[in-house]
Amino acid sequence: MTRKDRIFFGFAVATVGFVTAASSAQIVGSAHDFSSMAWSGGQICLPCHTPHNAMVGVPRLWNHELTIATYDMHEGTGTAEDDFDYKSRMCLSCHDGTVALDSFGGQTGANFIPASANLGTDLTNDHPVGADAKYPPNPQPTWWAGSFKAASSLPSTLRLYDWTDGGGNAYKVVGCGTCHNPHNKGFPHLQTMSNSASALCLGCHIK
């Protein structure tokens, strides 16, 4: 490789690296960057995660009080512990309005999520998640294949989550994290991908 080629190659790699870094998910400056809030102590990560003394048995070095609410769901009444994948329960631990934003690190907070982001405990007007959103349901309805894409063909950004019902039956389910990335400021509403021309919706739905 000539010196000129090496210079060009280095420039190309640097350019790709810059574009990749610019487009990658970032929490800094996003709706989940709480560092400007007095109750956060200037911290970004600590309201949700901690490198030490995390909650035992909870993934992601979790540091925030988990909701124990009961919900009105599409298929009836459900609970945080029994009817949601772990990531959705983490999200609802602020977004259902029953746990304060600053209830982390073992402290009981007093600052609750504002109404604009508060889903409440009536989820019948929200997209199904967890127990309501098995992918695919079992038994599988006759209309399923013509209405939803196979799990293996979903866009890589739309992840399904593990959930086990009270009888020990394991499923893949749609969760909050299927459509939203809590660390992503790249798309509106912390979406995992662009919803231009309903691309995110059509990632699962056949319409």
What digits encode the pLDDT tens for the residues 47-76? Answer: 999 999 999 999 999 999 999 999 999 999
pLDDT at 22 over 50: no
Distance CA 161, CA 88 (A): 9
Q: Which two tokens stand for residue 10?
A: 């280095």
Task: List the single range of 20-29, 82-91, 190-199 with lowest mean pLDDT.
Answer: 20-29
Instruction: Supply the pLDDT for residue 1.
Output: 54
Strand segments, DSSP code E, in 7-67 are: none
Within 10 angstroms of residue 74's Cβ, the number of other Cβ atoms is 15
Domain presence at residue 10: no
The answer to the question of residue 3 being in a domain is no
Q: What's the pLDDT tens digit per position in 131-161?
A: 999 999 999 999 999 999 999 999 999 999 9
Q: Please report whether residue 12 resides in a domain.
A: no
Residue 35: inside a domain: yes
Q: Is the pLDDT of residue 24 over 60?
A: no
Alpha-carbon span 118 to 131, nearest angstrom: 21
The label of the residue with tokens 């919900």 reads: 71
Tell me which of 12-16, 61-65, 172-176, 186-190 is least confident: 12-16
User: What's the CA gap between 146 and 32, in Å, rounded?
Assistant: 37
CA distance linking residue 14 with residue 22, whole number of Å? 12
Total count of domains within the chain: 1
Question: Does any domain span residue 14?
Answer: no
In the predicted model, what is the mean pLDDT of the chain?
A: 90
As a whole-number percent, the residues of the chain with pLDDT over 90 amount to 86
Task: Please give the residue range of the domain that contains residue 89.
Answer: 28-202
Dig out the tokens for 67 from the structure.
């909701």
Structure tokens at 59: 């993934």
Least confident range from 9-13, 86-90, 170-174: namely 9-13
In a domain, 114, yes or no: yes
